[in-house]
Structure 1
Amino acid sequence: MYTKELFHSWVPKVLQKIFLFVLAIPLLVGSSIYTANMGDMYSGLGTYAETLTFANYSSTIGMMVGLGVILKIKPRFKSKNIIVFAFISLGLLTLAIGSTQRIDIIVVCSVIMGFIKVFGMIELVVPIMFIVSPKGDRGEFYVVFYPLILGASQLVGFLTANLAYNLNWNAVYLMSAIILFGCALLCIALMHNKWTAKRMPIKGLDWFSIVSFTAACLLLNYILVFAKQQGWFYASMNLRLALAAFIICAALFIYRQRTAAIPFFSLAIFTKRRVLTAIVLFSLMGMFTATSSLQSALTSILQYDARTNATINLAMIPGIILGGFICAMWFKREGSTRSLLFIAFSCFLLNTICLYFLISPVVDIRYFILPTFAKGLGMALVYISGGFYFASSLKPTELMGAYPVVIGIRSFIGTAFFSAVFSWGLYQFQSDSMMELANGMDTMDAWVQARGGGMQLYASVRTQSTLIAVKELFGYTALAGILVLVYILLHPFHHLHRRQLIIRRKRLKGESIDGLRAESFDGKDITATAASVST
C-alpha cells in the first residue's frame, strides 16, 4: 500500500506540519564542525585550525556525493526507515566526533555525516516544499526556505558558542546527539511504516565515478585548506603531489562521465548559460563570504572571544529576513533578476567598505552591526535569486545532477579558494608591513626600553602590520566588488528578443510603439514548478 503522508493518520494535520519543520531544522543546520566554537575545539585537540576546516568542507563533499546517488538508492527503502536511520547514524557520528582526539576519525565522520544528511533532508524538505508552496513554485518556496535555514544557522552558531563558553566544546556535540536521538524517537512514534512510492532495486551506481569524484574533491580540499600551513607549492612536496593526484582523478572522472551509459551527473548541463552564470555568481559570493577570515583577524586583535563573534553574527538574521521579504515582493512583481543580484552584491560591497573603515586597534562592537546586517541581506538575496535563476532552466532530473556541483561551488570551492587567497595575501602584506615599520625603529632607544623593550615593540609592530594587511585586503576586495557590479550590469542574463530591441530603438528615437508589446523575460518565463524534485 502506498501513501504520500509520512505520519500516522491519527496525527492532526497541523501537528504534522509542525513536526516536519521540527525534524528538518536539526538536519539542515546540524554540522560535523560548528565554526562558532572551532577555536575552542582545535585548542582542546591541540591541532591546527586547518585540520578542522578540512573536516568542515569534507562534510560538504559528502553531501555532494550523496546528491549524486540519492535517486538510485532512495526508492529501495521506506521513508521512515531512511529518516530514522539518518537521525540515529548522525547522532552516533556526532558522539564519535565529540569524544575522539584523532583528526582522521573526525574527517571520516564528517564525510559520512554529509552523505547521510542528504537522504534525511530530501525526505523532509520535499513535503515542506509543498506545504510552503502547494503549486510547486520555486520562488515562493525559496523565499521561505533559505531565510529559515540561513537565520537558523546563525542562531545555532550563537547557541553553540555560548554552550562551549559555559561548559566545553564536547558538550556541544553531546547536546546535538541528544537532539538527534530525540528526533529519531519522534519519527518512530509518529511516522507510519508504509511505502510512499513504488519500491525499486538499487541499480546504476557507478563506483568508479563515485570514488574518483570523492578523491578529487578531497584532494582539492587539502590543497586549498593546507596551502599556507604547508608553505605553498614551492615549499611543500605534499601539495605538489596532491595537485598531480587531483588532476589525474578529475581527468578520470570527466572521461568516465563522457563515456558512461549512466553518468554520475551529465556534463551537458554545463553548456547551459544559466548554469554557468549561477556558478560564476556563487563563486563571486565566495569572495565576500571568505572575508570572514579577515574579520576574524581583526576581532582577534580586538580580543573578541567566540561568544562575542557569534553575537555579532546575529545581526545577519534581520538582514536575512529582509532579503526574504524583498525577494517575495520581487518575484510577485516579476522584477528583473539583474536588479536583484545588483542589490545583493551591493550589500556585499557595503559590508566590505564598512569593515575597511573600521580597521583600528579599538572598535566598539556596535559598529559591526551595519556591515553584518548588509552581509546577511546580500547572502539571502544571492541564495534565493541565484538559486531561482539557476533552477529555472533545468528539468527536475537535471537539477539533481547539477546540485552537487552548485552546492560544491557555493559552500566549498568558492569560499575555500578565496580564503586561501586571503591567507596568502595576509601573510605577504603583513611581512611587508613589518619590514617597513621596523626600518625606522631601534630596540636600544630609551623610549622603547622604558616601555618593555624589544619584545613589547615587536608585539606592537605585529599588531599594526596585521591591521595594515587586513585593511589592504578589504580595499582590494572592495575594488573587486565594483568590478562584480559592472559584470552584473553588462551580463546578458536573459535572451534579448528582436522585439525588445525594436521597442528600445523606437523609444530612443521618440517614435510610437503602438501595436508592439514588450515581453518580460524576468518573471513568468523563468517561473518553473518543482512537482517532482525528489524523483
Structure 2
Amino acid sequence: MDKPLLCFKDFVPVWLRIALFILFAVIFQCASPVYLSLMGDVTGAYQLYREDLSFVYQVSTIGVTFIFPILFRIKFRFTSQQILSVCSLLLAVLLLVCMYTSSVPVLIVCAFFIGAFKMIGTFETLVALQLIITRQKDYGMFFSVALAIVLLCGQLNATLAVILADSYDWQMIYNLVAILLGIQTLLILFLLRPFRIVKPLPLFGIDWKGIFHWSVFFLMISYVLTYGHVLDWYGSQKIMVATMAALLWFLLIVYRSYTIRRALILPRVFALKNVQVAILVILIAQVMLSITGSILGPFTGSVMRLDNLHTGDLNWWIAGGILTGAVMGYFWFKYINGPFRIIFAAGFAALTLHHGLLYFAFSGSAGEQQLYLPYFLKGLGNIIIFAAAAKYVTIGVGFDVFAQMLCYVAMFRNALGNAVMGAFFSENVYRLSQDYLQKLASKIDASGLEPLAAGIYNQSLKSGSPSLQASQLASKAISARLNQQAMLLAGRDIFGWVTVLGVIVLIGICLYHFSSPLIKTFPSWQNQYKIVKRDAL
C-alpha cells in the first residue's frame, strides 16, 4: 500500500504536510545559478559576457537532465528527511558561492550541482504528493500539476528577481532564496522523521561514468551553440575543438551503451515509438517558444522602451496562461481523457495564435497592452503541450526504463532544445536584421531622415555640445533608427513564418494517428522498489 506523507511526525496535520511539500517544491525551483532577468546587472557587476551567463544557466539544465536516471535509486537509498535537508543546505551554500564569485569555471561547477540538487529535491516533494494530486494515479493529471509548479516558478523567479533588484540590488534574490532554503532545512529537520517506504537499496550498479560522459557531451554542444556567434563559429579554433570533442565523446557514449550492462540510458529507450513522436512534438513546441525570447527581448527594450519592471510584469500574463492551461489539462485528463489529437491541437493552436498576434503587433507604435494576450497564449500553449507530451511518452514504457525515458525527453526539453533553438533563431534574427539594414541603407531617403538628424543636432548645440559631438549624436540617432526598423522587419518575417509553421503542424496533428488515450497509472512503491532492485543486481 502506498504511504504518502508519512515522513512527517505525527503531530503535523495533513493539510500542513501538503502545504509544506508544495512550498518546498517552489523554493527548490527558485534556486538558480543565474537569474536571466538580471543578466544586465550581473554582467556589469562582474564584467562577464552575456554568453557566459547563458552558458552557466544552460549547464544547470544539464545537471537537471542527467540526474533523472538515478532519482529512484536515491529515493530508495535515503529517507525524505535526509534527501530534502541535504539538498536544501547544499543549494543554499552553492547559491551564495554563485553570488560572490566572478569565476566562470566556478559558476559552471556550481550550476551543474544546483541543477542536480534542485531536481532531486523537487522530485522528492512532488512524487510524495502524487496520490494527493491524482487518486487515479494518472500521469496526465500529475504532470499537469507538476509542470505547472515548475513553469510558474520560472515566471515567479524572473519577476521577483527584477523587483528585488529595483528595490535593493541584484544580489538580494540570491540572499532571499538562500535564507528560505536555510529555514526550509530547519523545518525539515524539526517536522520530518527518518521514515522509509521500503528497505534501503545501496547505490551500487549506477553508471556514474555515464553521467559524466553524457554531461560532458552536452556541455560541449552547449558551448558551441552559446559562444558560436560571438567567436565567429568555425572561424574560431575553440569552437572547432569543442565540436571535435563532442563528436569523440558521442562515439564513446555509443560504444559504452552497447558494451556495458548497466548503461545510464539503454539503447532500446531511443527506439520507443511514442517517445519519438513526443520528442518531435516537444522540438516543434521549442521552436515556437524560443523565437519569442530571441526577438521580444530587444523589441520590448529598444522599441517599446520598457524598463525591467514593466517587462517583468508581462510575465504575470504568461503565468496566467500557465495556470489556466494546468486547470484545463487536469480537467481534460480527469473527466474527458479524449484523443491526444485534440489536446495537442489545442496547445499548438494557442502558440500559432500567439505568433499570429505578434506578427500584427510588431511595429514601432506597439503598446504594452498588445502583448497581454500573446503572452497569455504562450503560457497556455506551453503547459498544455508539455503536459500532454509527458503523458504520451509513458504509453508502452515499462517502469524499468521510465527514469531513462524521462532523461531522454529532458535532453530535448531542457538540455538541448533551449540551446539549439535559441542559437538558431538568434543567428537568423541577426542575419535577417543585417540583410534588411543593407537594403534600408541602400534606399535611404535623406530628406526623410533630415528632420530627425537636424533636430538632434540643434538640440545638442543648444545644450552646449561642440559641433563635432552634435554631428556624431545625430549620426548615431540615424543609425539607431535604421537598426530598429531592420529588427522590426526581421521580426515580422520570422513571426510570419512561424505562424505558417503552426498552421502546417495543426494540419499534421489532425492527420496523424496518435495512440489511443488511456489511464496510465503509477505502480505502487513496493513494485517500483522491486523493479529498481532487480535492475541494480
Q: What TM-score does the superposition give when structure 2 sets the normalisation length?
A: 0.89
1:436/1:174 CA distance change after superposition, 3 Å: same
TM-superposed deviation, 1:246 = 0.6
Partner of 1:275: 275
Paired with 2:337 and 2:73, the residues of 1 have a C-alpha distance of 36
Paired with 2:35 and 2:268, the residues of 1 have a C-alpha distance of 36
Partner of 2:321: 319
Q: Is the 8 A contact 2:65 2:415 kept in 1?
A: no
TM-superposed deviation, 1:392 = 2.8
Paired with 1:482 and 1:237, the residues of 2 have a C-alpha distance of 41
Q: Is the 8 A contact 1:72 1:204 kept in 2?
A: no
TM-superposed deviation, 1:257 = 0.9
Paired with 2:330 and 2:113, the residues of 1 have a C-alpha distance of 36
Aligned-residue CA RMSD (Å): 2.1
The one-letter amino acid paired with 1:113 is: I
Q: How many residues align?
A: 505
SS of the residue 1:218 aligns to: helix
SS of the residue 2:314 aligns to: helix
Paired with 1:45 and 1:288, the residues of 2 have a C-alpha distance of 33
Partner of 1:507: none
Paired with 1:117 and 1:309, the residues of 2 have a C-alpha distance of 27
TM-superposed deviation, 1:530 = 4.6
TM-superposed deviation, 1:436 = 1.1
Q: In the alignment, which of 524, 528, 532 is matched to residue 521 of structure 2?
A: 528
1:319/1:194 CA distance change after superposition, 3 Å: closer
1:333/1:449 CA distance change after superposition, 3 Å: closer
Partner of 2:361: 358
Partner of 1:225: 226
Partner of 1:159: 160
Q: Percent identity?
A: 25
Partner of 1:468: 489
Per-residue deviation, residues 106-144 of structure 1 (Å, max 9, x unmatched): 111110111122322232111111221233221222232
SS of the residue 2:183 aligns to: helix
Q: In the alignment, which of 345, 348, 352 is matched to residue 345 of structure 1?
A: 348
SS of the residue 2:129 aligns to: helix
Q: Does 1:492 align with 2:513?
A: yes
Q: Does 1:403 align with 2:397?
A: no
Q: Is the 8 A contact 2:354 2:375 kept in 1?
A: yes
Partner of 1:249: 249
Q: Is the 8 A contact 1:313 1:372 kept in 2?
A: yes
1:324/1:447 CA distance change after superposition, 3 Å: closer
TM-superposed deviation, 1:384 = 1.1
Q: Which moved further from structure 2: 462-471 or 439-448?
A: 439-448
Partner of 1:103: 104
Partner of 2:142: 141
Paired with 2:71 and 2:321, the residues of 1 have a C-alpha distance of 33
1:48/1:253 CA distance change after superposition, 3 Å: same
TM-superposed deviation, 1:311 = 0.6
Q: Is the 8 A contact 1:289 1:415 kept in 2?
A: no
Paired with 2:64 and 2:189, the residues of 1 have a C-alpha distance of 25
The one-letter amino acid paired with 1:56 is: Y
1:314/1:530 CA distance change after superposition, 3 Å: farther
The one-letter amino acid paired with 2:180 is: I
Q: Is the 8 A contact 1:437 1:461 kept in 2?
A: yes
Partner of 1:375: 378
Q: In the TM superposition, what are the counterparts of 1:182-201 in structure 2 within 5 Å?
A: 182-201=183-202
Per-residue deviation, residues 457-496 of structure 1 (Å, max 9, x unmatched): 11211111111112212122222222222222222212xx
TM-superposed deviation, 1:70 = 3.0
Partner of 1:420: 423
The one-letter amino acid paired with 2:444 is: M
Q: Is the 8 A contact 2:87 2:117 kept in 1?
A: yes
The one-letter amino acid paired with 2:505 is: V
Paired with 2:323 and 2:249, the residues of 1 have a C-alpha distance of 41
Paired with 1:446 and 1:79, the residues of 2 have a C-alpha distance of 70
Paired with 1:268 and 1:29, the residues of 2 have a C-alpha distance of 35
Q: In the TM superposition, what are the counterparts of 1:3-18 in structure 2 within 5 Å?
A: 5-18=6-19
TM-superposed deviation, 1:529 = 2.9
1:263/1:352 CA distance change after superposition, 3 Å: same
Q: Is the 8 A contact 1:8 1:191 kept in 2?
A: yes
Q: Is the 8 A contact 2:30 2:177 kept in 1?
A: no
The one-letter amino acid paired with 1:479 is: V
1:168/1:398 CA distance change after superposition, 3 Å: same
The one-letter amino acid paired with 1:386 is: A
Can you give the 5+ residue segments of structure 1 that lack an aligned partner in the other structure? 495-520
SS of the residue 2:268 aligns to: helix
1:449/1:124 CA distance change after superposition, 3 Å: closer
Q: Is the 8 A contact 1:284 1:414 kept in 2?
A: no
TM-superposed deviation, 1:352 = 0.7
Can you give the 5+ residue segments of structure 2 that lack an aligned partner in the other structure? 458-473, 533-537
SS of the residue 2:193 aligns to: coil
Paired with 2:109 and 2:64, the residues of 1 have a C-alpha distance of 13
Q: In the TM superposition, what are the counterparts of 1:379-458 in structure 2 within 5 Å?
A: 379-441=382-444, 447=451, 450-451=454-455, 452=457, 453-458=474-479
1:455/1:261 CA distance change after superposition, 3 Å: same
TM-superposed deviation, 1:223 = 1.3
1:121/1:148 CA distance change after superposition, 3 Å: closer
Q: Is the 8 A contact 2:58 2:222 kept in 1?
A: yes
Q: Is the 8 A contact 2:324 2:380 kept in 1?
A: yes
SS of the residue 2:171 aligns to: helix
Q: Is the 8 A contact 2:257 2:265 kept in 1?
A: yes
Partner of 1:482: 503
TM-superposed deviation, 1:241 = 1.4
SS of the residue 1:31 aligns to: coil
1:76/1:44 CA distance change after superposition, 3 Å: same
TM-superposed deviation, 1:278 = 0.8
Paired with 1:449 and 1:13, the residues of 2 have a C-alpha distance of 69
1:448/1:79 CA distance change after superposition, 3 Å: closer
